[in-house]
C-alpha cells in the first residue's frame, strides 16, 4: 500500500472500545530511522511482518505520505536488530463506527496507561461518527506519534 494517509487521532476516555471491538491483535514495532518527520518502521502484527516508510506530516499533522510493504516474519525479526532504542508494544482494537473503523491502541511497557484512537479518512474534511469512548483530539500533537513515544515514553511525561 502506498499513498497519502489522512487520519485524525484522539485520546480515549474509557475502555468501552474493548467490548465494541470486532477484532484485535498485538503489535510490536521499532524504528530504523525517525528523524525530521520521516520514519522507516518495522512492525510485527501477530505473525506478519511489515516495513513502512512515512514522510513528514502535512496539514497540521492530518496527512502524510505512507508506503507499506508486507515482509516475512523472519525479515521483520532481523530488521529489529537495526532499530533505534525503544520498542513500541501495543494491542490494536478495531471498532466500527458508521462507515469508518477506529483503530484503538492500548500501549504497554513504558507507555502503559496510554490509549489512542485513530480514524483514517479519504479527505481532510470528511465527516465521521465518533464513538462515545472518544475524548479530546490530539491530531498533530507529536507527543502522541509512536516514533516520539519510543524516545519520550508516556511514563516520563510530567503533565498528562
Active site residues: 31
b/e string for 77-96 if b means 16 or more Cβ within 10 A?
A: eebbeebeebebebbbbebe
CA separation for the pair 129, 119 (Å, rounded): 10
Q: Do residues 91 and 109 make contact, with C-beta atoms less than 8 angstroms apart? A: no
3-state secondary structure of 53: strand
The residues with which 90 forms a beta bridge, in sequence order, are 27, 107
Taking residue 146's Cβ as centre, other Cβ atoms within 10 Å add up to 21
Nearest residue to 129 via CA among 99, 105, 103, 92:
99
Amino acid at each position: 500500500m502506498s499513498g497519502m494517509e489522512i487520519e485524525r487521532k484522539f485520546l480515549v476516555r474509557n475502555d468501552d472500545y474493548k467490548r465494541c471491538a470486532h477484532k484485535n491483535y498485538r503489535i510490536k514495532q521499532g524504528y530504523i530511522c525517525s528523524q525530521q518527520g520521516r520514519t522507516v518502521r518495522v512492525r510485527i502484527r501477530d505473525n506478519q511482518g511489515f516495513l513502512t516508510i512515512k514522510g513528514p506530516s502535512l496539514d497540521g499533522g492530518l496527512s502524510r505520505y505512507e508506503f507499506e510493504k508486507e515482509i516475512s516474519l523472519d525479515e521483520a525479526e532481523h530488521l529489529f536488530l537495526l532499530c533505534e532504542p525503544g520498542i513500541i508494544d501495543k494491542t490494536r482494537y478495531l471498532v466500527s463506527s458508521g462507515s469508518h473503523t477506529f483503530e484503538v491502541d492500548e500501549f504497554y511497557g513504558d507507555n502503559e496507561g496510554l490509549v489512542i484512537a485513530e480514524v483514517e479518512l479519504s479527505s481532510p474534511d470528511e465527516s465521521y461518527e465518533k464513538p462515545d469512548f472518544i475524548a479530546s483530539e490530539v491530531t498533530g500533537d507529536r507527543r502522541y506519534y509512536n516514533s516520539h513515544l519510543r524516545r519520550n515514553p508516556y511514563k516520563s511525561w510530567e503533565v498528562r
